[in-house]
């Protein structure tokens, strides 16, 4: 999970804590971004933030040339910890809590086997689903 708090913004409505229960998030002005800021100086997919351990994240430029980390200009990828600040445009946020081990891992193969073993009625459906998924894999 990635918890952060926006501490500075041209729009006070964005100054707030944010919680994400993902291994990585995108920050940008695209509505598809996990953390959306509709400001001109922020690129569509400005940053990607990825958990790398229970107390560290990697922050990487995607569409932008740089961002500010604890007041210093950074281009590329940098590791951050709790308390570090990141600034893009007029938006500034700091990391308040990080935890990789709290992200649930789903074993889809085991779920499929369990469902398959439950009964004959679901067997036909699951075989058809598996066939379609294999076809999709072949197309990619």
Q: What is the pLDDT of residues 3-43, one digit of tens each?
A: 999 999 999 999 999 999 889 999 999 999 999 999 999 99
Q: What is the pLDDT of residue 140?
A: 60
| Long-range pairs for 77-85: beta carbons < 8 A, 24 or more residues apart | 79/52, 80/56, 81/55, 81/56, 81/57, 82/55, 85/7
81 plus 132 within the same structural domain: no
Count: domains in the chain: 2
> Which residue range forms the structural domain that includes residue 62?
2-98
19 plus 71 within the same structural domain: yes
8 A C-beta contact, residue 103 and residue 51: yes
The CATH code of the domain that includes 57 is: 2.60.200.20
- Rounded to a whole number, what is the distance in angstroms from the first to the last CA of the chain? 31
Q: What is the pLDDT of residues 105-136, one digit of tens each?
A: 666 677 677 766 766 566 667 777 787 888 77
Task: Judge whether 36 lies within some domain.
Answer: yes
Helix, strand, or coil (residue 53):
strand
89 plus 38 within the same structural domain: yes
Examine the pLDDT at 88 and tell me if it is beyond 90.
yes
3-12, 61-70, 83-92, 124-133: which range is least confident on average?
124-133
Q: Please give the residue that has the higher pLDDT: either 89 or 104.
A: 89
Task: Judge whether 103 lies within some domain.
Answer: no
Q: What is the pLDDT of residue 36?
A: 94
The CA–CA distances, whole Å, from 129 to 25, 106, 117 equal 30, 19, 15
Bridge partners (DSSP) of residue 60 are 48, 77
Tokens 């569509």 belong to residue: 44
């Amino acid at each position: 999970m990635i918890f952060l708090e926006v501490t500075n913004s041209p729009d006070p409505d964005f100054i707030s804590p944010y919680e994400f229960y993902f291994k990585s998030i995108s920050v940008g002005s695209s509505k598809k971004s996990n953390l959306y800021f509709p400001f001109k100086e922020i690129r569509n997919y400005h940053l990607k933030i990825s958990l790398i351990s229970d107390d560290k994240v990697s922050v990487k430029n995607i569409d932008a040339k740089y961002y500010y980390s604890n007041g210093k200009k950074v281009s590329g990828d940098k590791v951050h910890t709790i308390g570090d600040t990141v600034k893009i445009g007029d938006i500034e946020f700091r990391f308040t809590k990080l935890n990789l081990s709290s992200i649930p891992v789903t074993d889809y193969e085991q779920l499929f086997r369990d469902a398959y073993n439950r009964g004959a009625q679901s067997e036909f459906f699951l075989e058809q689903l598996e066939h379609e998924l294999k076809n999709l894999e072949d197309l990619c």
